[in-house]
Amino acid sequence: MIRSIRLRLLLLCAALAVGAILAVGAAMVVGAGHDGGGWSTAFAISAFALLGLVTLVWFVLDQRVARPLERLAADLRVRAHGKSAAPLDLQHTQHLGDLAFAADAVTQALGEAALATAQSVAAETRRLEDERLRLTALLTEIPVATLLINPDKRIVLYDGQAAEILAQLGTPRLMADLRDYFDRDATDAAWDRMARTGREVDTHISGRDGAQRYSVRLKPMDDGNCLIVIDDAEARLSSEAPRPIVYDFDLLQRKPPRDMAEMPLSELTYCVFDTETTGLLPHRDEIVQIGAVRVVNGRLVPGERFDELVDPGRPIPEASSRVHRITDAMVRGKPGIHEVGRRFHGFAEGAVIVAHNAPFDMAFLRRHAAETGVSWDHPILDTVLVSAVLFGTTEVHMLDALCTRLGVEIPMERRHTAMGDAEATAEALLRMIPMLEAQGLNTLGKLLEATRQHGRLLKDMN
């Protein structure tokens, strides 16, 4: 096999030259046999022959050079930015000569170095995780709920007790406004008094629904941050196992987004979701499950998950149950889409909504928006289109293919479950964001503009 790409191109050009000479010569021979318009005939024949030769050469270069180069470039981006350590697939690069083998050697060397670094990081991460678990266990024994709030009144940390209280008033979320859960006027008044005096403030604040009242202590901290302790939380906590502490200290000075289109992709909050349905017709079928996770500050937030079965109000076809394994018995007595839709809307508040083939899933939600009493005016990001931006329209963009390309594993028992597919989509998104930023698509506005060029993909898919 010829390994030199220069020699391959030389042979191709030589074949083109020989073919052109033969085509022109044959055309002249044919033309010489005609009286009168022989030269015109020769010109026409040679022109069509040369056009065919050029088309053939273009096709060969496209199939054996251009497309393999695009695929190799995409694979290199995945390994450079997408955390994949898998070896390159050289099956389609045999005509690129030494280039593919050299790229494979470089990626293997970088992969070995990255593996050594990852092992060191993992060891330190385990140590920090052990400390976090000890801190969680300690705080669990203290009968108060604890929240850490940044200067914009947004939640940066909440412990297990606080998570249970927030869950009674909405959905616990990092970067959520504190006033999404508690009475706005009373919260603002207590905060202003703390800021004005620089001292702790003890007060009583009602929940947003007005059904419960809490004894709250606000303690000022450095840089305008605030520690909030809810003293009488113990009476309202369930007997379930405590949830771990959820926090991100990088959010202490993070400002709430003014214009999401100008926000860097890595700083946005994403709500990545998937649905399972009774069928494939959004105008007629119904949702039977919604699964979603939240991505804040470039990472999946542990504990911030939305996983709800929905009573569709009609029998689930057997063919659909074979796909998602949800039966009529499983959804019997569960809330309907109007209640679950409202709760999911709260879970997605302030976030960019992300889905794989988003128009399909959003059509089900928007169909019931009026009855649900919500407006789905969030920015929508579709990972099918993001994949097309990165890897080109000639690649397959189904979720399984995308995850394979990025090295994201979906356990078989989790595939075609709303939560399993949402988690896989979120992991794929996190691996694609550095690749997008490397191409200069570093804000939501730029990315949405790039995805609009591939909108036809979704129309064909649906």
Query: What residue spans define the domains of the chain?
Result: 5-111, 142-250, 259-461
The pTM score is 0.77
Fold of 142-250: Beta-Lactamase (3.30.450)
Nearest one of 292, 426, 421, 417 to 346, comparing CA atoms = 292
Of these ranges, 96-100, 298-302, 314-318, the one predicted with the greatest mean pLDDT is 314-318
Q: How far apart are CA 157 and CA 154, in angstroms?
A: 9
- The 10s digit of each residue's pLDDT in 387-423 is 999 998 888 899 999 999 898 988 888 888 999 999 9
Q: Report whether pLDDT(99) > 80.
A: no
Separation of CA 6 from chain center: 40
Angle, vertex CA 146, rays to CA 141 and CA 150, nearest 5: 155
- Judge if 142-250 and 259-461 fold alike in CATH terms: no
Q: Which of 92, 283, 416, 454 is catalytic?
A: 416
Amino acid at 237: L
Q: Token digits for 308? A: 């709800």
* Tens of pLDDT, residues 239-267: 454 557 888 888 888 776 678 889 999 99
What's the whole-number average pLDDT of the chain? 84
* Contact indicator for 310, 288 with CB cutoff of 8 Å: yes
**Tokens standing for residue 46:** 């040679």
HEC string of 53-87 equals HHHHHHHHHHHHHHHHHHHHHHHHHHHHHCCCCCC
Tokens of 411: 């356990």
416 is catalytic: yes
What CATH number matches the domain at 259-461, 3.30.530.80, 2.40.100.10, 3.10.20.30, 3.30.420.10?
3.30.420.10
